């Protein structure tokens, strides 16, 4: 997955104990741009990645959950102070 100058790999690593106990958090400047890039990239259809709707969280961030091909939960977030609230 690539957006602007940042990139990372989503991997299908099928180890249930790892998946149940691991979460990634990616703090970005514009969460909506990242979500749009995920949806436009085709990873959802190609690899079965799940991208959920954005939400304002009680811990002061706006994020969207992303479940990678192995089932690991990623939270792609930005601080609410910099979020464009819809």
Ordered by where they begin, the domains of the chain are 2-82 (3.10.180.10)
Confidence at 8, pLDDT banded by 50, 70, 90: low
Instruction: Note the pLDDT tens digit of each residue in 39-61.
Output: 998 989 998 889 999 999 999 99
In percent, how much of the chain has pLDDT > 70?
77
Q: What is the pTM of this model?
A: 0.71
The helix or strand, by DSSP H or E, that contains position 3, with its residue range, turns out to be strand 2-3
Distance of CA 41 to the CA centre of its chain: 13
Whole-number average pLDDT of the chain: 82
**Res. 25: pLDDT tops 80:** yes
Helices (H), 1-86: 16-20, 31-41, 43-47
């Amino acid at each position: 997955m690539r957006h602007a100058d940042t990139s990372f790999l989503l991997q299908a690593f099928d180890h249930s104990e790892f998946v149940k106990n691991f979460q990634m958090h990616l703090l970005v400047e514009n969460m909506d741009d990242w979500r749009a890039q995920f949806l436009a990239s085709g990873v959802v259809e190609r690899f079965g990645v799940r991208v959920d709707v954005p939400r304002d969280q009680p811990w002061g961030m706006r994020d969207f959950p992303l479940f990678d091909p192995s089932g690991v939960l990623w939270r792609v977030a930005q601080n609410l102070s910099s979020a464009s609230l819809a």
